[in-house]
Amino acid sequence: DAGVIQSPRHEVTEMGQEVTLRCKPISGHNSLFWYRQTMMRGLELLIYFNNNVPIDDSGMPEDRFSAKMPNASFSTLKIQPSEPRDSAVYFCASSSRSDTQYFGPGTRLTVL
Amino acid sequence: AQRVTQPEKLLSVFKGAPVELKCNYSYSGSPELFWYVQYSRQRLQLLLRHISRESIKGFTADLNKGETSFHLKKPFAQEEDSAMYYCALRGGTYKYIFGTGTRLKVLA
């Protein structure tokens, strides 16, 4: 298994543009998490899906952020419009039931 | 409030010296505690969890409920231990709360 797959690995965009980050969880895992990593705040949980359903989105910063999980093997995190303060590394992680989380390699987002 | 505190952003030690990465938590129930590690250019990965009570790569961590701490220790640091270390708490079935991380630098 290739583990959790994220794309793109790096994204540079200009303020105001739409950004879409993608994640493919490990096959068979029914929980998916999106995190944001910054120097100041460390790792913050943005949203949690269980069986493709959003369970907790209390960490989503504002309406500019949205996430979807149309099926068990794919999720997206969208930022529209993007702002410079959104620059961070975004991680996707998956797990099965109460097992530990497995992280993807992350997407480094830079908003100019 | 649920919180994980890692007071040190950066910890530098010499090779062969003991290492202790501090982690304190705040949680009203019985949490599960973890240490995750991120080596340079690699993905975040689980190092150890308190329920396993195991030693991984020479690291150990003991949950001290009285002091609400879960410090990570290693008696003799090695250069390959240089990485970013995150302490995490899981309360309930899914929600993980991570600390802000400590960067460990092991000097030759």
Q: pLDDT truncated to tens, each residue of chain A (112 aa)? A: 679 999 999 999 999 999 999 999 999 999 999 999 988 888 899 999 999 999 989 889 888 999 999 999 999 999 999 999 999 999 999 998 767 889 999 999 999 9
Query: What ranges make up the beta strands (E) of chain B?
Result: 3-5, 10-14, 19-21, 24-26, 32-38, 45-49, 60-61, 72-74, 83-91, 95-98, 102-107
Q: Are strands A31-38 and A42-50 parallel, antiparallel or unpaired?
A: antiparallel
**Measured between CB atoms, does B86 come within 8 Å of chain A?**
yes
- Between positions 20 and 79 of B, the ones with CB within 8 A of A are 34, 36, 43-46, 49
User: B11: pLDDT confidence band, cut at 50, 70 and 90?
Assistant: very high
A48/B98 Cβ within 8 A: no
Round to whole Å and give the CA distance between A12 and A66: 19
Residue from B96, B97, B102, B103 to probe the interface with A (highest A Cβ count within 10 Å): B96
A contacts of B1 (beta carbons < 8 Å): none
pLDDT for the residue numbered A32: 95
A91/B100 Cβ within 8 A: no
Say if CB B49 and CB B37 are below 8 A apart: no
Say if CB A30 and CB A96 are below 8 A apart: yes
Round to whole Å and give the CA distance between A36 and A13: 17
Cis status, amide bond into A84, omega within 30 of 0:
no
The minimum CA-CA distance between A92 and chain B, rounded to whole Å, is: 10
pLDDT for the residue numbered B93: 67
How confident is the model over B78-106, as pLDDT tens digits?
999 999 999 999 877 677 889 999 999 99
